[in-house]
Amino acid sequence: MLVSLIFSITHASLSLNKQLSLLSENLLKEKIISTNIFCSISTYSRINVRRWRKNLMSRNTYTLKMLPQTEQNERDERLPLTFPPKILVLSLVKGIRIAFYLIKKVC
């Protein structure tokens, strides 16, 4: 009877250790996937923001050369320095698509 008790305790502890190791592997995979998702979304958003600002500045430089000095100053004050929400949303959607692709590739 004592032998069967020891055997069942040993079997239970081995089973628990196995489940814990599987759990830690899954948590590590989820952490890697979530990190990849965040990195892909933020990188894609930053690239689009740079493109948008570069295009904005090149257009404004061309427009400002055409205006008299007083109008240039007024135009400078009205220029938006942030990117529009539409570009942010499109960047996030593209980033999420990239993230899903990465998830499919990992799994």
Q: Measured between alpha carbons, how far is 54 from 47 in angstroms, rounded to an integer?
A: 11
Rounded to two decimals, the pTM is: 0.32
Question: Residue 88's closest CA among 38, 22, 42?
Answer: 42
- Rounded to the nearest 10 degrees, how much is the dihedral formed by the CA atoms of 54, 60, 66, 68? -140
List, for residues 85-101, the tens digit of each pLDDT value.
666 666 667 777 777 77
List, for residues 25-57, the tens digit of each pLDDT value.
777 677 766 676 666 666 666 666 677 667 666
